[in-house]
Homo-oligomer: A and B are copies of this chain.
Amino acid sequence: MPQPIRLLHYGLGPIGVRIARLTASRPNLSSIGAVDIDPAKIGQDLGAVTELGQPLGVLVQPDLKTALKVQKPDIVLHATGSHLPSVLPQFLELAEAGLPVVSTCEELSYPWFHHADEARSIDGAARRRGIAILSTGINPGFMMDTLAITLSGVCPAVSAVRVRRVVDLSVRRQQLQQKVGVKLTSAEFAARKAEGKLGHIGLPESVAMIAAGLGWPLERVEQTLEAVIAPVRLDSALGPVAAGQVQGQHQIAHGFVGGRERITLELKMALQAPDAGDFVELDGPEPVSSAVHGVQGDIATAAIIVNAIPHVLTAAPGLRTMLDMPPLRSVGI
Query: What is the CB-to-nearest-CB distance from A180 to chain B, in angstroms, rounded to a whole number?
Result: 21
Count residues of chain A with CB under 8 A from any CB of chain B: 54
Assess whether A324 is interfacial by the CB under 8 Å rule.
Answer: yes
Interface residues of chain A: helix, strand, loop or mixed (majority): loop
Docked pose: A88 CA to B313 CA in angstroms = 33
Docked pose: A154 CA to B294 CA in angstroms = 10
Assess whether A201 is interfacial by the CB under 8 Å rule.
Answer: no
- In the complex formed, the residue of B with least CB distance to A322 is B327
Assess whether A214 is interfacial by the CB under 8 Å rule.
Answer: yes
With A150-B150, A154-B300, A154-B304: A329-B289 Cβ-Cβ less than 8 Å: no
Query: What is the CB-to-nearest-CB distance from A213 to chain B, in angstroms, rounded to a whole number?
Result: 5
With A288-B294, A326-B325: A303-B150 Cβ-Cβ less than 8 Å: no
Beta-carbon contact of A288 and B295 below 8 Å: yes
With a cutoff of 8 Å between Cβ atoms, the chain B residues found around residue A288 in the complex are: 292-295
Docked pose: A103 CA to B329 CA in angstroms = 24
Q: What string of 1s and 0s marks CB contacts (under 8 Å) between A309-333 and chain B?
A: 0000000000000111111111111
Beta-carbon contact of B290 and A330 below 8 Å: no
Our pick among B22, B153, B325 for the contact of A328 (Cβ within 8 Å) is: B153
Docked pose: A25 CA to B143 CA in angstroms = 30
Beta-carbon contact of A299 and B323 below 8 Å: no
- In the complex formed, the residue of B with least CB distance to A328 is B153
With A288-B295, A294-B289, A299-B286: A142-B158 Cβ-Cβ less than 8 Å: no
Query: What is the CB-to-nearest-CB distance from A148 to chain B, in angstroms, rounded to a whole number?
Result: 9
The 3 closest A-B pairs by CB, nearest first: A153-B328, A154-B300, A215-B331
**Chain A contact residues, CB within 8 Å of chain B:** 22, 25, 138, 142-143, 146-147, 149-159, 213-216, 284, 286-296, 299-300, 302-304, 306-308, 322-333
